[in-house]
Amino acid sequence: AQHFGLDHICTGDLLKESGVNTTSVGYSCYNEEEKAAQLVVERIKQCHGEMKGWVLDGFPRTRAQATFLKEASIVPTHVLLFQANVEGIWKRQEQILNGEAKGAYMPPEELEKKLRLHSCHTEAALESYQHLIHLIDMDKDEDAVWQQMETSVRLKQRSQGQYPPPRVVLLGPRGVGTREHASLLAARLGVVFVDG
């Protein structure tokens, strides 16, 4: 977010600010998922109103959360899916505990439960984003991970929908044959020729 000048929207922070207990594993009920979704959607709409892009952290984690975004007509341009082996995750937690790495330490039993929840829900949550997903290998060194992330975000997505017909403007000084070239181009592209 800092690199591209975008707003960082952290679901956990939004929930904490609104008084929701985020220490429990997962969301205890649909109402809490709905609360999280309302906070996220509200913040994204605020970004849109300010003509800002955003990086959404930690949402959607379940199919229900993805549905909330769809209903609000919010579709990301890129989805970065971090992948790491479990040993690497445990090692990082140990490094955080020893002050060798940045991040929030999570007790082993809580981390174990969250990893199980991730395994259960991720595939369903990301079902509708399959064509947007970029896999990021978190087992690589920090520079390599950052390179993957930056490259993925810079890639333009190919639309799954039908491309709009060409809309071409030809300009030039009098006498260069703009009208004739425009007519030929329109015929070649199968579009309407409008003579100004």
What digits encode the pLDDT tens for the residues 76-117? 989 999 988 889 899 999 999 999 988 888 899 988 988 888
Residue 30's pLDDT is 53
Mean pLDDT for 151-172 is 71
In angstroms, the first-to-last Cα distance of the chain is 45
- Mean pLDDT over all residues of the chain? 83
pLDDT tens across 27-41, in order?
444 557 788 889 999
Residue 135 has pLDDT above 50, yes or no: yes
Q: Tens of pLDDT along 62-71?
A: 888 899 999 9
Task: Give me the mean pLDDT over the 13-38 stretch.
Answer: 71
Q: Could you give the CA distance from residue 134 to residue 148 in angstroms, rounded to a whole number?
A: 9
**Averaged pLDDT for residues 153-157:** 77
Residue 55 reports pLDDT greater than 90: yes
Global model pTM greater than 0.95:
no
pLDDT of residue 25: 47
Mean pLDDT to the nearest integer, 131-153: 90
Transcribe 166-178 into DSSP letters: P-------TTS-H
Residue 148: its pLDDT value, please?
A: 92
Beta bridge partners of 66: none
Handedness of CA 111, 127, 149, 136 (dihedral sign): positive
